[in-house]
Structure 1
Amino acid sequence: MENQNNIPVSVIIATYNMPEWLEKVLWGYENQTYQNFEVVIADDGSEDATKQVIDKFMANTKLSIQHVWHEDEGYRRQTILNVAITKARYDYILFTDGDCVPKADFLQTHVAHVTNGRFLSGGYCKLPMELSQQISQEDIISQRCFDPAWLKERGLTGASQLRKLSATKTTGKILDTITPAGATFNNCNTSVWKKDLLHVNGYDERMQYGGPDRELGQRLENYGVKGKQIRHRAICIHLDHSRGYKNKESVDKNLRIRKESKRKKVIKTPYGIDKLELGNK
């Protein structure tokens, strides 16, 4: 059953040394139709330019922002995300990335579909680098950067990408019902109750790039919290960037952990939030 209550939301944004992209993302959160939320920036050791962007928004906007940061000791994204979960002030959490600009109704759509015992799996439209660089504050405020015709004029291709942005509430619901894509836990656009995250002990901190969010989703499903598809209704545009941290070794290791979680029906990882709390004692 859909829930129309005014639920306060903690939006956790993962970032690392992409201040220009983070600025665009925060413009998107300034422009939300839904206002009952805070922003928690999970920063995996960015340099000072990122802090400068965050400080500017904290000083000049109404956004409520927590900047959660740790030293750069290599890829430790899952660790800082677990810290951000513990710092989140509200009982409902939305995960996204510092390269994902939300549509104006993004939070409103998530809140409208909040359901006990489910996590919500939203969608994104991936932009090429040249177009990512072109997106301005005015493009975000006016919402033209979510207009399929405007994007096509600037070189965006791909029927699936444009179909998500073209969907109305009615057609979006139909497309989410018939899509063969699974309602997976994707760190760029997923929301869930904090109590469910704590029950499964958050992210597995052994994992690096290559599906740690999917592994968390698997453990949530093992616990009985199933995914609900809203990929054609809750939309963000995904700005392009390089992935220097991607390597076959980490991907293969992550796949082994994901397979083990599925095969053994693991619910609570021993390498999650509890480990973090023990380390602080």
Structure 2
Amino acid sequence: MEMSVIFSTYNSEEWLEKVIIGFSVQTFRNFEIIIADDGSRETTKQLIDRLKTEIDIPIIHVWQEDNGFQKSQILNKAILASTSEYLIFTDGDCIPRQDFVEVHNNFREKGYFLSGGYFKLPMDISKAITKEDIVHQRCFDINWLKQNGLPSSYKNIKFTSKGLMSKLLNFLTPTNASWNGHNSSGWKKDLIAINGFNQEMQYGGQDRELGERLFNLGLKSKQIRYSAICVHLDHKRGYVNEETWKKNHAIRKNTRDNKVVKTPIGIDSN
């Protein structure tokens, strides 16, 4: 495999199936899917086992026992399970456009990581998207989205910008090219060098903190938010709490202030 696509999931079979279908119709084919499963129930495994027989992209299912929100740990285990030298990270609630993997392949470069974004859909459209809508790419068609209730917004330009226009928007956007867990990629050797994700961190900023350590390692980043497109399916976030945010903020501040490169509790803890 030339690349590995890694994304996490937890008891969300409906969204997970839509995401896997999205990766099954990619224009670039030489990649594997690694599902980082943070303790899902048996029905998730049954879904994955079925989809393994229905699509021609290899799927590796990495599971750990449910011990609360431990996304950083399961992502590190997924990194270890990957068989390629280049890793794309997204989420189990983000459907990729059919050129998503191809864009990451085209833009990748030694000494850099890639920073993309997502387009957040409301719950009614998230539920309405069918397998056929993904296979035929209707869920990335601005006219179809508007017909299904998407309001007008300047953000909608993500669906219509192509070629030189998308590259120009990548250059002009004021958004920082940070490591975003829903749409970023980098070289496996660089992620190993910084010891992967900090397993002391739960929800809130663990992706950005990893990117900050990549910067401390000496890497640069490229902005691809208008080139690598994915739509984010809506969901509740019951795992958010103020105490965790404060702890994660302190870890990120320490990473920046002290130019931390290698997290003490990361890949090598697994």
Do the structures match in fold with TM over 0.5? Answer: yes
Gaps of 5+ in 1: 1-6, 277-281
- What does residue 101 of structure 2 align with? 107
Q: 1:158 to 1:255 in 2, by over 3 A?
A: farther
Q: Which residue of 250, 259, 270 corresponds with 2:244?
A: 250
Pairs aligned (count) = 270
**How large is the Cα RMSD of the aligned pairs?**
1.0
Deviations 1:80-130 (Å, cap 9, x if unpaired)?
000000110000000011100000000011100011111111121100111
Counterpart Cα distance in 1 of 2:128 and 2:96:
16
Tell me whether 1:168 sits opposite 2:178 in the alignment.
Answer: no
How many Å apart are 1:133 and its aligned residue?
Answer: 0.3
Q: 1:207–1:254: 8 Å Cα contact kept in structure 2?
A: yes
TM-score, length basis structure 1: 0.94
Q: Which residue of 39, 49, 70 corresponds with 1:45?
A: 39
TM-score, length basis structure 2: 0.98
Deviations 1:232-257 (Å, cap 9, x if unpaired)?
00000000001111111111111111
Counterpart Cα distance in 2 of 1:152 and 1:265:
45
The amino acid that maps onto 2:130 is S
**Equivalent pairs: percent with the same residue?**
51
The amino acid that maps onto 1:12 is I
SS in 2 for 1:82: helix
Counterpart Cα distance in 1 of 2:136 and 2:2:
25
Gaps of 5+ in 2: none
Q: Which residue of 83, 89, 93 corresponds with 2:83?
A: 89
How many Å apart are 1:158 and its aligned residue?
Answer: 5.5
Counterpart Cα distance in 2 of 1:244 and 1:174:
38
Q: 1:123–1:233: 8 Å Cα contact kept in structure 2?
A: no
Q: Which residue of 62, 72, 78 corresponds with 1:78?
A: 72
Tell me whether 1:10 sits opposite 2:11 in the alignment.
Answer: no
Deviations 1:202-254 (Å, cap 9, x if unpaired)?
00000000010000000000111122100000000000001111111111111
Tell me whether 1:263 sits opposite 2:257 in the alignment.
Answer: yes
SS in 2 for 1:123: coil
Tell me whether 1:141 sits opposite 2:135 in the alignment.
Answer: yes
Counterpart Cα distance in 2 of 1:60 and 1:147:
25
Counterpart Cα distance in 1 of 2:136 and 2:234:
21
Q: 2:29–2:57: 8 Å Cα contact kept in structure 1?
A: no
